[in-house]
Structure 1
Amino acid sequence: MKQLSLFVFTLLILGNFSCSTDSISKEEEQITDEDVYFPPLQSTIWETKSPEELHWNTDKLPQLLSYLEETNTKGFIILNQGKIVVEQYMNAHDSSKVWYWASAGKTLTTATTGIAQKEGLLAISDKVSDYLGTGWTSSPLAKENLITIENLLQMDSGLSDTNGDNVSPDNLEYMADAGTRWAYHNVYVKLQDVIATTSNTTYKEYFNTKLRDKIGMSGTWIDVSDLNVYWSDTRSMARFGLLISENGRWENTQIIPSTFLNAATNTSQNINEAYGYLWWLNGKSSYHLPQSQDTFDGSLIPNAPTDMYAALGKNDQKLYIIPSKDLVIIRMGDSAEEENFALSSYDTNLWDKINDLLP
């Protein structure tokens, strides 16, 4: 009888342990995940995995690579659980050459904002004017004070998006109350000014110290028409994609809070379902496009996985993250067809080729 009681007690303990394990946070689970590979810092070493090992349709790989070359691609990488499965350079590019991220680099600013909040330098619920002072826009003061850091992350500041790239106060005109109008706008760079102000350093120095150097990225911010544009090699974008795909963790160090990234990669406001904190989201019921106030029904990229989220930049700079398939996909290069701001028909055409490759 005592043995039976001990057996039942043991089962109860094991059952409780199982339940408590289920309640472990995603962040804690990932810290102990040994299946994901992280390439060494400041090294050209990067472990690989063959498409055959993953049972991919390898006979379709030449077609994908030919299509990439024909469409002005310079660098292309696919990672699976951190390991390189496909890496190709073309059109006079190679692994050591750099290229611009364009608006895909917005997500670098998202990540840096999350780090700054973790360090207590800011809170995304705060007014932007708490850090930059009043008069950083030409809006009436009462309207300017409605704009929070989160509004800049969500692209719903209510400021006019019709005055070009310049973000001087004269160009940041009131159009609607913050939170009531979504518009793709370069005003997000004011986040970099906030971080520089509150950290008592330059944005570039803060970014390099807190993010770039911690994951072994190369690259630099270059001022172009009053905007910071990031330039790097293709592997650096892949490193960043790996960091984000692992919810802000690099090996055993949580660099970006996972709770912040969860908010960043889910719908952030009720106007554009397909937008988080400067991240594009697939699989939503509708979406908005840059320079448009129209709502389009359906998924952003219908033939891509529904759980995919992406950093998309001018002229087809692409960073796709697909959690369900443990994939990070990078495409850098000139525009495939014609100049574009972020999303283009190339996304759908490229995913046709990727889908042919995947099992």
Structure 2
Amino acid sequence: MNPRFFQRVCVVLVLGLGAQSALAEVWPGEQWPSAPAAQTPALKALEDYAFPARDDSTRKGIRTDALLVIHDGQLVYERYAGVTKVNTPHLTWSVSKSILASVLGVAFSEGRFQLTDPAMKFYPPLKSHPDIRIGDLMYWASGLDWQEDYEYAPLNSSVVAMLYTRGRGDMAQFTSEHGTASAPGTAYRYSSGDSNLLSAALKNMVGDKAYPDYPWTALFEPLGIRSAVWETDPTGTFVGSSYAYMTARDLARIGLLMQRGGRWQNRQLLPKAWVDFNLTPFAHHQAKGVNEVPGAQWWLNRLPVGESDVSNRPWPDAPTDAFAALGHWGQALYVIPSAKLVIVRYADDRDGSYSHDQLLQRALAAFAGEGAQ
């Protein structure tokens, strides 16, 4: 065979395979590609769980505002309830923390900080806590004496004071004034204050001029997110712990970014090392039988260190690689890479009856089949 002819055949085959691979991977443009799932008993079971008869005069039971499912890059299911519609930017509550983590991932890719950097390098009021590193804040492991109690224990709650009373004028400053409960990096203590310290540190990482637009220029615009609103405190610092709003369709774009390892189309928007860090369990979280396994501003369906019983995973009926951004009153962005699923749920749950595991079990049956287990 003529060597040049053989070389040309190889080039054609390689280019053809590359084109087929590119065609096989679906990405959203201005709108999501849609392939609605057929109504099946499994889908009905999911709907019956997520959307029971709704009585807005009470605060009891499961109250789903929106449920959206992306499978392999395509919108396969979408339903809204109450006042929430397809174009409604919904309050995400603590899902904001994981959105902030993705914004920080872009800053990390630009070389603006290292995880081992002292946090006071970017937020000087932390000079009284010089040993806290950026990586400690990412794992909610600052060691600050923080009480993450909500409306059920307002007098003891650091987060209620930060968001609504004496800390609301400068949330990061309020957090930095807390005392020490443990050495930084040695103990997990969920803290909206840690997340707001990261948001304040970001301001010095990128500069005062770039900061007000940075979540949009760094993350939202590259992903095609148009609906995002992010409230600030009176100092102009984004309330990274709690106050990001966006539509379900737009939040799903962040889920797809994470499902595909930080890649958006042909651009590695988040470094793979950053995504791996987000999805690595905090090394010192060893409690047995827990219902949460913290990653770096994300939640993981992994076993805690030292645990071997798979039934003690947070969501035992979902695959081990599942992870989520979770927020108060049932807000959730679930990502299951092995099943190629991204699920957004907005809600107004008030009584604790909702189960992440139950919804994920039904969603997997409806959209991924038993093979996803």
TM-score range, shorter chain: 0.7 to 0.9
Q: CA deviation at 1:355?
A: 4.1
Q: Secondary structure at the match of 1:84?
A: strand
Q: Select 2:75's aligned residue among 58, 74, 84.
A: 84
Number of equivalent positions? 309
Q: Select 1:194's aligned residue among 201, 212, 217.
A: 201
Q: 1:154 to 1:51 in 2, by over 3 A?
A: same
CA distance in 2, matches of 1:80, 1:352: 15
1:39 corresponds to? 28
Instruction: Give CA-to-partner distance per residue, 1:70-109, whole Å, 9 cap, x none.
Output: 2211111111111011111122321011211111111111
In structure 2, the gaps of 5 or more residues are 11-17, 53-61, 148-156, 163-171, 288-292
Aligned residue runs from structure 1 range 58-207, under 5 A: 58-70=40-52, 71-133=62-124, 135-136=125-126, 141=128, 144-162=129-147, 163-165=157-159, 166=162, 167=172, 168-169=174-175, 171-186=177-192, 187-201=194-208, 203-207=211-215
Is the contact between residue 238 and residue 330 of structure 1 (CA under 8 Å) also seen in structure 2? yes
Q: Select 1:222's aligned residue among 215, 224, 231.
A: 231
Letter in 1 for 2:41: D
2:34 corresponds to? 48
Q: CA deviation at 1:59?
A: 2.2
Is the contact between residue 84 and residue 90 of structure 2 (CA under 8 Å) also seen in structure 1? no
Q: CA deviation at 1:315?
A: 0.7
1:262 corresponds to? 276
Is the contact between residue 68 and residue 344 of structure 2 (CA under 8 Å) also seen in structure 1? yes
Note if 1:240 corresponds to 2:262.
Answer: no
Letter in 2 for 1:199: V
Instruction: Give CA-to-partner distance per residue, 1:201-226, whole Å, 9 cap, x none.
Output: 36441111110111111211024798
**Normalized against structure 2, the TM-score is what?**
0.75
Is the contact between residue 69 and residue 342 of structure 2 (CA under 8 Å) also seen in structure 1? yes
Q: 1:333 to 1:276 in 2, by over 3 A?
A: same
CA distance in 2, matches of 1:62, 1:216: 32
In structure 1, the gaps of 5 or more residues are 15-28, 289-295
**Normalized against structure 1, the TM-score is what?**
0.78
Letter in 1 for 2:222: K
CA distance in 1, matches of 2:312, 2:41: 32
Is the contact between residue 145 and residue 181 of structure 2 (CA under 8 Å) also seen in structure 1? yes
CA distance in 2, matches of 1:95, 1:185: 31
Q: Select 1:249's aligned residue among 255, 263, 268.
A: 263
Q: Secondary structure at the match of 1:348?
A: helix
Q: CA deviation at 1:170?
A: 6.2
CA distance in 2, matches of 1:355, 1:205: 37
1:338 corresponds to? 351
Q: Secondary structure at the match of 1:102?
A: coil
Is the contact between residue 311 and residue 318 of structure 1 (CA under 8 Å) also seen in structure 2? yes
Is the contact between residue 103 and residue 219 of structure 2 (CA under 8 Å) also seen in structure 1? yes
Question: CA RMSD for the aligned pairs?
Answer: 2.9
Q: 1:286 to 1:334 in 2, by over 3 A?
A: farther
Is the contact between residue 287 and residue 299 of structure 1 (CA under 8 Å) also seen in structure 2? no
